[in-house]
Amino acid sequence: MAFDLIRRVQSLGSPKILVVGDLILDRYVWGYAERISQEAPVPLLRADTREHRLGGAASVATMLAKLGAQVTLVGGVGRDRDGDLVRELLGEMGIDHSPVATLDDRPTTLKERYIGRAQDRHPQQMIRVDYEVRTAISAHDEAQILDDLMPRLAETDIVLISDYDKGICTPSLLRALIDGCRVAGVRAIADPIRSNDYSRYRGVHCMTPNRLEAQLATGMTIATPNDAIALGRKLVHDLGMESVLVTLDRDGMALVRADGRSEIVPTRPRQVYDITGAGDMVLSIVGLCLAAGADYDEAATLGNVAGGLEVEKIGVALLSREEILADLIEHQASDHGKVYDRENLVAEVNRRRAIGQKIVFTNGCFDLLHVGHTRLLRSSADLGDFLVVGLNADASVQRLKGPSRPINDERSRAEVLASLESVDAVTLFGEDTPLELINAILPDVLVKGGDYQPHEVVGRDEVEANGGQLVLIPLVAGHSTTNMVKKASDQTLTHHPAQPAIPAPAALTHPSRAAGALPTSSPDVC
């Protein structure tokens, strides 16, 4: 599943998305809150930074623009400095905001947040102050917005409705918009308000209410994730939708479709710093995925991932495709494991390189793992972001070490290596050298033990010709698999000299293991 999602993100393209809703300006005042005011028992914030970001439907638009969509934004701002600032920020993001109306009967909606730092701990929001008018816009302003909006439906891939209940999304405007989408064959996806009446959204193709919103809209209770399935079925039926995605915070999402299919899309536990913007991010990703041809299950899963990343940040923060890919790639090991065949390894390396990760490669037999191996692998991992270990297959080890080796078969050796935190990928190669494997992935860093001379390292020329580098890491003296085998053999002979009829393990009684006939180890730490 993870690989399918990675491919989906890589193929999202640049769809045309129309965002309709309430525009909000978010102001953040940052400072230190390390003492209590002398005037009242409240924290005193010593402000040092002021920052502006876009919120509401404008937040959805900026998230989509950052993710590579072509975005047109429809809404309204006041005739004030904050409204001018909203337009400036939209222009900087390359968002078409020509349909944004100037509203004379209200100020630009502003949410002002005060963020305190203390003793270098993670900053926390102390208070939020809202400046807003929530009554419906005038009939004149609604008509102006619809005049700008409706002709654009024919040239968009999807419409996203970001309703914050600030007056833009009137029932009559939504009815005209949703009916227009149905006629134009364009999906409309809504992030709804908190209300016990969702009739204004009837006919949208999908909506993304959170747990509380869904409960208020249906009068039902979500005590367990499965309760959201029944609730979702009611919403889909009552509003004539294709599907509904009920976001359930720590419990993930409930996806319910009109054809009867349903599922709980789980989420991964995360450190939650601020839930601001999580709903906007879910709407953005779901809309982007559907516009790019994804099904609802892919859209829901990717929305879950992006929403989770959003709550790890303070305030409304933008995510890139690279960040989403990095999260998918870092956590896809639970689906795939760390042991790759060559084709999948090359694909994985390419995915990681595309998001700027540095690929490190080393190789060996790793027959009996010892401290020399683990130190080499930890040092190798520190040189980049993704450590690939090339592992000699059994036949390759036999040709290099003799017919009594390896002690452990290739599957066992691969599993042990994959269990190490420092190792990100393990792949087998059957050749005598890893040259073909190195040519396939062309790592940024090639690592060998320090008893090699640079000219002796297989693959060095190819890696350096591609802009990579060779790093030689000193070995741990006195540690090698060959010495471990010899020591075990000597101990067996010492403790059982009078029992020659009892055979020792085959690996220790092969003719090549006779006293004085142990093969010398290669310079590697195999």
* Ordered strands of the 23-36 beta sheet: 43-56, 23-36, 109-117, 124-131
504 lies in some domain: no
* Tally of CB atoms within 10 A around 37: 10
CATH number at residue 367: 3.40.50.620
pLDDT tens digits for 90-143? 999 999 999 999 999 999 999 999 999 987 777 888 999 999 999 999 999 999
Residue 43 has phi, psi (to 5 degrees) of -65, 145
Same domain, residue pair 315 and 362: no
Query: Residue 251 has what pLDDT?
Result: 84
pLDDT tens digits for 250-298? 788 899 999 999 999 887 655 544 455 578 888 999 999 999 999 998 8
Same domain, residue pair 362 and 466: yes
**Is the confidence at residue 326, as pLDDT, over 70?**
yes
Same domain, residue pair 157 and 70: yes
CB contact set of 57 (below 8 Å; sequence gap of 6+): 19, 20, 21, 22, 23, 24, 73, 74, 75, 162, 164, 168
Same domain, residue pair 260 and 341: no
31 lies in some domain: no
What does each C-alpha distance from 328 to 277, 301, 304, 325, 332 come to in angstroms? 20, 11, 11, 5, 6
Query: Residue 437 has what pLDDT?
Result: 96
Same domain, residue pair 317 and 197: yes
**Is the confidence at residue 492, as pLDDT, over 70?**
no
Average pLDDT estimate for 485-500: 53
Of 86-95, 229-238, 410-419, the poorest mean pLDDT is in: 410-419
519 lies in some domain: no
**Is the confidence at residue 502, as pLDDT, over 50?**
no
pLDDT tens digits for 159-178? 999 999 999 999 999 999 99
pLDDT band at 491 (very low <50, low <70, confident <90, very high): low
Last residue of a domain, one of 439, 458, 473: 473
510 lies in some domain: no
Query: Residue 507 has what pLDDT?
Result: 38
Same domain, residue pair 288 and 386: no
The answer to pTM > 0.75 is: no
pLDDT tens digits for 43-53? 999 999 999 99
Same domain, residue pair 79 and 180: yes
Average pLDDT estimate for 361-380: 90
Task: Supply the residues annotated as catalytic.
Answer: 280
Helix axes 171-184, 139-149, angle to 10 degrees: 20
Same domain, residue pair 260 and 407: no
Same domain, residue pair 68 and 90: yes
The residue segments making up the domain with residue 19 are 2-26+58-105+138-333
Query: Residue 506 has what pLDDT?
Result: 39
Last residue of a domain, one of 304, 333, 362: 333
pLDDT band at 244 (very low <50, low <70, confident <90, very high): very high
Last residue of a domain, one of 333, 357, 376: 333
CATH number at residue 225: 3.40.1190.20
Query: Residue 467 has what pLDDT?
Result: 96
130 lies in some domain: no
Query: Residue 324 has what pLDDT?
Result: 80
Same domain, residue pair 210 and 303: yes
Same domain, residue pair 363 and 395: yes
Number of domains observed in the structure of the chain: 2
Same domain, residue pair 316 and 407: no
